[in-house]
Structure 1
Amino acid sequence: MTEQDASDGAGDGESPLSFARQVADAMYAKDVAAQNMGIKLSKISPGYAVMTMLVSDKMLNGHAICHGGYIFALADTAFAFACNTANITTVTLANNITFLAPAKEGDMLTAVAEVQNQAGRTGLCDVIISNQEGTKIAMVRGNSYRLKSKIVEGMPSVDL
């Protein structure tokens, strides 16, 4: 679901978009790793997140391209934000990444994550990472697992 699709209530008269934003803001405030890597949340809606990261010289490997671990961290972060918009603590069960092209210093990477399926406690989410020119850098398919807790206590949880 994209931002434009979010129009129904999410509990207590909130829109799903507003609900997802509150959960994401609470998560981001505690995500020291993402903050330290310069990962920023640019869009959020139920089951959907877009995050960006600028490739710095400190992220380069011995081939003078972005280390795959940073690209994976960006993808995993977008995955987490998309999967947690229902306010049910959701973690990565497994992820598979395929690198398609190198990212270079100065590239602005964008990760678009979208939950494809949620059935009970497990889900499936796809993430596409592209650079500022629209070149696909990597693709991730991941499985998620819901725990029995909330991101924001006092807020309800909703179905994606």
Structure 2
Amino acid sequence: MTDVPEPDISPELFAALAADPLAAQLGIHLEQVAPGYARATMTVGPAHLNAVGTAHGGATMALLDVVHAAVSNSHGTLAVAQDVHTEFLAPGRPGDVLTAVGTEVHRSTRTAVYRIEATSADGRLVATALARVFRLGTPWALEEDVVAMGAPPPVPPTMQLSVVEQPPPSPGEGTNPAGPTPAPDELR
């Protein structure tokens, strides 16, 4: 499609798309949504890092997915993800501000394809995704009171997750069939 997005979507639709609890928890900020276009940012902080000290692929993918959800729903028709193929190209570093931009590649009445790219402030291409959605043909039902509160629409009871509390395993249980791991000097 075009490089210049159309005028932004309605404030009600933007508020509904921006009310993503996981995005809020990860510090992902939806900045702009226009038909066929979306942009969001995330600053790579300590909670976003993997064991080697770079941005965790899951955190980077969450940024791409938030943009995917926004761009694919930007026409006001409910869309659900069918496939997201992601390539991680460079590590996000602690302190990096990653910006993800999603643009529409193709849209029909039932499916659509989007390209989403995440770059760092210094211009490194960190990750790219090609994503496909199924368009349900149902317009977004925007409840004014939900939008005014900035909260996501209520989840139907059949879709709610419940927390199952289980006691944590005792040290050594379930981790080594031979019992607790011996102290390092016992291994010699």
Which interval holds the TM-score relative to the shorter structure? 0.7 to 0.9
After TM superposition, give the deviation of residue 3 of structure 1 in Å. 8.6
Report the residue type matching 2:15 in the other structure: D
- Give yes or no for the alignment of 1:94 onto 2:83: yes
Distance of aligned partners of 1:50 and 1:5 in 2 relative to their CA distance in 1, 3 Å threshold:
closer
Q: Indicate the structure (1 or 2) with the bigger Cα radius of gyration.
A: 2
Residue of structure 1 equivalent to 2:65: 76
Matched-pair contact (CA < 8 Å) for 1:27–1:151: no
The equivalent position to 1:38 in structure 2, one of 5, 27, 30, is 27
After TM superposition, give the deviation of residue 43 of structure 1 in Å. 1.7
The equivalent position to 1:17 in structure 2, one of 8, 16, 36, is 8
SS in 2 for 1:149: strand
Matched-pair contact (CA < 8 Å) for 1:26–1:152: no
Distance of aligned partners of 1:18 and 1:3 in 2 relative to their CA distance in 1, 3 Å threshold:
farther
Unaligned segments of structure 2, at least 5 residues = 144-188
Matched-pair contact (CA < 8 Å) for 1:2–1:48: no
Matched-pair contact (CA < 8 Å) for 1:2–1:45: no
RMSD of equivalent CA atoms? 2.0
Residue of structure 2 equivalent to 1:122: 111
After TM superposition, give the deviation of residue 153 of structure 1 in Å. 3.9
The equivalent position to 1:62 in structure 2, one of 19, 33, 51, is 51
The equivalent position to 1:28 in structure 2, one of 4, 15, 18, is 18
Distance of aligned partners of 1:127 and 1:18 in 2 relative to their CA distance in 1, 3 Å threshold:
closer
SS in 2 for 1:17: coil
Residue of structure 2 equivalent to 1:12: none
Matched-pair contact (CA < 8 Å) for 1:44–1:82: yes
Deviations 1:53-105 (A, max 9, x none): 01111111111111100100100110110110111111110010001100011
Distance of aligned partners of 1:128 and 1:4 in 2 relative to their CA distance in 1, 3 Å threshold:
closer
Unaligned segments of structure 1, at least 5 residues = 7-15, 155-160
Partner Cα separation in structure 2 for residue 110 and residue 4 of structure 1: 17
Q: TM-score scaled to structure 2, two decimals?
A: 0.71
Q: Which has the higher contact order (CA 8 A, sep 6+)?
A: 1
Report the number of matched residues.
144
Q: TM-score scaled to structure 1, two decimals?
A: 0.82
Matches within 5 A, 1:142-153: 142-153=131-142
Q: Percent identity?
A: 31
SS in 1 for 2:38: strand
Matched-pair contact (CA < 8 Å) for 2:92–2:126: yes
Partner Cα separation in structure 2 for residue 147 and residue 18 of structure 1: 19
After TM superposition, give the deviation of residue 18 of structure 1 in Å. 4.0
